Amino acid sequence: MTLIKRSDWPALVNGSWLSDFFDNDRLFDSDWMRKQSMPAVNVKESEKGFEIELAAPGLNKKDFNITVDNGVLTISSEKEEEKEEKEKDYTRREFSYSSFNRSFTMPENVNEDDIKANYEDGILKLHVAKKHVDQSKFKKAIEVK
């Protein structure tokens, strides 16, 4: 399984991050300031398949969106919370928003129809089953004439 790596941090070479940081009162409104950190992922391969463990504490089962499209497994989550406290002389409202998106390019020997997911104790566990691929069809002898 191959992890598709993508950086959302601003390019340090072209200096655009300085513009975002200091210009136009956009210090806390910049795109790169709003990005959330990526959850840690472990990928283990066995004879029967792949085990993917993704650390995502504080989420619920319903917060995850797991899709497979053209051999790419994508795990994403969006969570929005709003809290309001009312006391004698004040009202306090807090909003929080978090999201992430992880994508994995799956090898050809993966059975896309046999993927199971379980979320427990802050860890999302996926089991991706392998399918039997006949190696003989890949190997062919060419006769020299």
Model pLDDT for residues 19-65, shown as the tens digit of each residue: 555 555 555 555 544 445 688 999 999 999 999 999 999 888 999 99
Which helix (H) or strand (E) segment is 16 a member of? helix 16-22
Under 8 Å between Cβ of 110 and 131: yes
Closest Cα to residue 31, out of 5, 9, 6, 7?
A: 9
Residue 71 has pLDDT above 60, yes or no: yes
pLDDT of 20 reads: 53
DSSP string, 37-100: PPPPEEEEE-SSEEEEEEE-TT--GGGEEEEEETTEEEEEEEEEEEEEEE-SS-EEEEEEEEEE
Say if pTM beats, i.e. exceeds, 0.75: no
In order of 5, 29, 93, 140, the CA distances from 12 in angstroms are 18, 18, 36, 49
Residue 142 has pLDDT above 80, yes or no: yes
CATH number of 36-132: 2.60.40.790
The domain locations on the chain are 36-132
pLDDT, one tens digit per residue, over 23-36 is 555 555 555 444 45
Closest Cα to residue 128, out of 115, 144, 145?
A: 115
Residue 133 has pLDDT above 90, yes or no: no
Instruction: Pull the structure tokens for residue 80.
Output: 């929005």
